[in-house]
Amino acid sequence: MAHPEFLILWALALVALSSMASAAIVEHTFHVQNLTVNRLCQRRVITAVNGILPGPAIHVQEGDTLVVHVFNKSPYNLTIHWHGVFQLLSGWADGPEYITQCPIRPGGSYTYKFTITGQEGTLWWHAHVQWLRATVHGALIIRPRAGHKYPFPKPHREIPIVLGEWWNANVIDVENQAMATGAAPNNSDAYTINGRPGNLYNCSQNPKFTYTYKVEQGKTYMLRIINAALNNQLFFKVAGHKMTVVAVDASYTNPYVTDVVLVAPGQTTDVLLTTDQAPGAYYMAASPYASAPNVSFDNTTTRGIFIYENAPPAAVSAPRMPVLPAFNDTPTAHKFNSNLTGLVGSPHWVPVPRHVDEHMYVTVGLGLAPCGAPGNNSCGGPNGQRLSASMNNASFQFPTTLSILQAFFFNVRGIYTADFPNKPPVAFDYTNPNNSMNQALLFAPKKTSIKKVKYNATVEMILQDTSLIAVENHPMHLHGYNFHVLAQGFGNFNPKTDRKKFNLVNPQIRNTIGVPVGGWAAIRFQANNPGAWIMHCHLDVHLPLGLATAFVVENGPTPSSTLPPPPIDLPKC
Ligand SMILES: [Cu+2]
């Protein structure tokens, strides 16, 4: 434990910080409990917050302190993660199960309390336990503080567009069944826009199942698009309208005009849409970008409708439908992902750190785990084994008795090992499809392997997809930080030629990056936030397989760079 005089210094530092800003305290209560809903002609019991799906949208201004009292009245263990929030010196509130806290048990409660500074835009919150986030999620919208403006004309209205994924089943059962057999889990049955599948699905014709929004002609709207789907990246289009991207992952971008947006699970995209078309009705629609060849997926389309207020009845009864890209349209996906640039000098913009302390080259991909004893090939994955996944040949295993942050803070040994390597232990031709079933490469050991870094160290990470089992675009999400996306490409990263492509001037800033299928992405961030921060694939089909690692960032030299002790109501382990 810290010395008492140290705690007093801490308290003084916090008082000094809080007196600088005239920020508000925004308080919410989340009752997480069973909710019976009708979708696709089925009555299903889901886990939801405050009786609605999506859950409540939270609105704050930059600088505010958010206090959320979470009461777990569900039958499942629960934590809530505030996706994209830096949690500067408030890592105890980040939420991922067994990384920063033990779960809130059924009947238990925990109050998440943190200040949101240095970032604004669209983020979201979601459960960070098993697959519960399928129905336990909502928008978290951070507006500029009083007197500050958007770096674009103020929109007429702002509309959260929460994209989701729906199973005609209990999602926890779907996940548990896959983990038991070692096979891929069942595909979802529908995608949703703000909780509604839309009328392309069977048993979904009632207008109440299609998200509808009335717009005025000649106005500019901001769509705050959030991909809360579990396992699928989604293309999003609006018939007849172009969109201008102005922010991604709560970081402002140079305005980018496009007729299609790609959002990976975990990502957000803010677009401006001007209602400059003939009065009528226009579908907005989302369908998957499925990058892995020969892997089955939910290939359905969700849609909602924008209706102009002055539209003639004939037009309203026959909305126009956009033509979505093909499911495997990697060129369109890559064009969108690689053309975005950060808006230099915009609020909270951060220049690229030039000096790198930690150079990391990290493979991300799938693999296998043994079904059981040698010779047992009765599991449901490829070759009768279990599907697995890893980073740098370490298949991440979550602790089960204490969180990594608690182990770090209280110096408890045996919870994790700080041996995550800076490069793959075995070099191979990472993206060569001939390696996809290479027995010598497929089996990564299960371990809780983390990377320890010094306070304020600059970390550069080349994320390299592999062809093991199959190449796939993995949306990699880092907690606790935003990072600059310096470059992306296909094939194996070539340090000689690819480093020259790094954008050190105005790269996009994100918290989740879709690593190109069979390719790589280069990111950089400064570890200025002590704590334990998981980095993981935001496809819930891959996270439980081990596609994760964590950073333990050491304390800095001063009280204001030191993680305070945990709140007293941190759930018991
Ligand atoms: Cu993945």
HSE (side-chain half, CA atoms, 13 Å) at 292: 24
Distance in angstroms (rounded) separating the CA atoms of residues 121 and 4: 38
Ligand 1 centroid to 13 CA: how many Å? 40
Give residue 562's pLDDT band: very low, low, confident or very high (50, 70, 90). very high
The pLDDT of residue 206 is above 70: yes
Q: Which of 211, 192, 190 is nearest to 202 (CA)?
A: 190
Question: Does the pLDDT at position 13 exceed 70?
Answer: no
Å from CA of 370 to ligand 1 middle = 20
Across residues 21-38, what is the average pLDDT? Answer: 93
Per-residue pLDDT at 22: 64
- Centre of ligand 1 to C-alpha 79, Å, is 21
Tokens in use for 232?
Answer: 């699928």
The rounded Å distance from CA 158 to ligand 1 centre is 31
Q: What is the mean pLDDT of residues 512-516?
A: 98
Which burial class, exposed, middle or buried, applies to 484 when counting CB atoms under 10 A from its CB (0-12, 13-18, 19+)? buried
**Bigger pLDDT: 303 vs 19:** 303
Share of the chain above pLDDT 90, in %: 96
C-alpha 546 – ligand 1 centre gap (Å): 10
169 alpha carbon to ligand 1 midpoint, in Å?
22
Give residue 62's pLDDT: 98
Asked if residue 119 lies in contact with residue 142, where contact means CB atoms within 8 angstroms, the answer is yes
Instruction: Give distance in angstroms: CA of 514 to centre of ligand 1.
Output: 9
Nearest to 503 by CA among 348, 332, 351, 330: 351
- Asked whether the predicted pLDDT for residue 121 surpasses 50, the reply is yes
- pLDDT at residue 4 in the model: 46
> If you average pLDDT over every residue of the chain, what do you get?
96
Q: For residue 185, how far is its CA from the centre of ligand 1 (angstroms)?
A: 14
Number of residues that make up the chain: 573
117, pLDDT greater than 80: yes
CA of 299 to the centre of ligand 1 (A): 18
How far away, in angstroms, is 495 Cα from ligand 1 center?
Answer: 24
Question: Taking residues 190-213, what's their average pLDDT?
Answer: 98
pLDDT value at 18 more than 70? no
Expressed in angstroms and rounded, the spacing between residue 531 Cα and the centre of ligand 1 is 24
Q: Is the pLDDT of residue 468 over 80?
A: yes
CA of 467 to the centre of ligand 1 (A): 12
Q: How far is the CA of 498 from the centre of ligand 1 (A)?
A: 23
Q: How confident is the model over 401-457, as pLDDT tens digits? A: 999 999 999 999 999 999 999 999 999 999 999 999 999 999 999 999 999 999 999
Ligand 1 centroid to Cα of residue 441, in Å, is: 18
Q: How far is the CA of 361 from the centre of ligand 1 (A)?
A: 17
Report whether 281 contacts 134 (CB < 8 A). no
Q: Which two tokens stand for residue 96?
A: 């991922």
Ligand 1 centroid from CA 328, angstroms: 16
Q: State in Å: Cα 405 to ligand 1 middle.
A: 24
If residue 232 lies in a helix (H) or strand (E), which one and from where to where?
Answer: none
CA of 389 to the centre of ligand 1 (A): 8
What is the distance in A from the centroid of ligand 1 to the CA of 5? 45
Percentage, residues of the chain above pLDDT 70: 96
pLDDT tens-digit readout, 473-513: 999 999 999 999 999 999 999 999 999 999 999 999 999 99
pLDDT at 51: 98
pLDDT tens for each residue of 146-163: 999 999 999 999 999 999
pLDDT of residue 10: 54
- Has residue 19 got a pLDDT over 90? no
Q: How far is the CA of 542 from the centre of ligand 1 (A)?
A: 5
Can you name the residues that pair with 126 across neighbouring β-strands? 81, 137
Give the residue from 147, 141, 85, 95 showing the smallest Cα distance to 117.
85
- The more confidently predicted of residues 398 and 1 is 398
Residue with tokens 């340090």: 495
In the sheet that 220-227 helps form, which strands lie side by side, from edge to edge? 190-193, 157-166, 220-227, 268-274, 243-248, 251-258
Residue 537 CA to ligand 1 center (angstroms) comes to 5
Instruction: State in Å: Cα 102 to ligand 1 middle.
Output: 24
CA of 363 to the centre of ligand 1 (A): 12
Residue 5 has pLDDT above 60, yes or no: no
What is the predicted pLDDT for the residue at 23? 87
- pLDDT (mean) for 4-12: 49
